[in-house]
Amino acid sequence: MEKETRYFNFPIQILQGFMNDQRNTLNNICDYAIYAHSLSYEYGESEIEKFEEANGYYRLKVGNSKHSLNNGKYLYNDFMGLNPPMVGLSTNIWWDFYLNQKTDFELACLLGFLGLKSILNAKSYCKVTNNYWLSRMDGQAKSVSQTNQLTPPIAKYSNEYQLKKIKEELSLNWGLKHYGRYTRGFYVSFKMEFKELVRQAELSRKSRKKEQLKNQRNEIIQNVLIELQ
């Protein structure tokens, strides 16, 4: 029987610096997620025993449990009360990037995937701007207004050519559906079929145009009424 996929859930900000040191970032993701999961074990065990039991849940054997526990606890407490944007990374993908050498473009694609997932959260689809997407790729919770606010490794991908390449890769191999026509930004989904995403995007655009037309008509009427007073 195929084993159930496990996910490391973590704040998007932990991705900061990933392009420069992916191994350290992946360790932080792992330690944070394991510690957070260990908190769900309520009775009996000590802190280290709960942490090691959480390791078992993720089918891992951490080399230095005490170090990983302390690191995970530090990261968890650092984000406590901040309500950071969260994202999940499957342990299968985590292992692939932990064990295998990846190109900068492959690393950027993983960040692109996680960035979009963090924006979508539980939604089946949503509209995204390039700056917002790049911000999440950079491990930032809020969207930057200018691309010069991004770190250099991410700013490198802040042009239409590079973003199009990432979208194509995510569409071919990561399950992304995306669509944009006569709109600022683009619509994305990992759950919908492309046809349904197009339908929803066009319905949203039509509804928005109707609302704009209604507002324009109301503004004209109000101006005329003021002139007639």
pLDDT in the model for residue 120: 96
Extents of the domains making up the chain: 7-99, 104-206
For the whole model, what pTM was predicted? 0.86
pLDDT in the model for residue 182: 66
Amino acid symbol at 69:
L
Amino acid symbol at 182:
Y
Structure tokens at 225: 């009424």
Per-residue pLDDT of the chain (229 residues; tens, 9 = 90+): 457 889 999 999 999 999 999 999 999 999 999 999 999 988 767 899 999 999 999 998 777 889 999 999 999 999 998 999 999 999 999 999 999 999 999 999 999 999 999 999 999 999 999 999 999 999 999 999 999 999 999 999 999 999 999 999 999 999 999 998 766 789 999 999 999 999 888 887 766 666 666 777 777 777 777 777 7
CA distance 75 to 64: 17
29 close to 14: Cβ distance less than 8 angstroms: yes
Question: What is the SS3 assignment for 139?
Answer: coil
What Cα–Cα distance (Å) separates residue 214 from each residue in 208, 210, 225? 10, 6, 17
pLDDT in the model for residue 208: 66
34 close to 60: Cβ distance less than 8 angstroms: yes
CA distance 135 to 143: 5
pLDDT in the model for residue 200: 84
Q: What angle do CA 50, 37, 80 make, to 5 degrees?
A: 110
pLDDT in the model for residue 2: 57
Amino acid symbol at 35:
Y
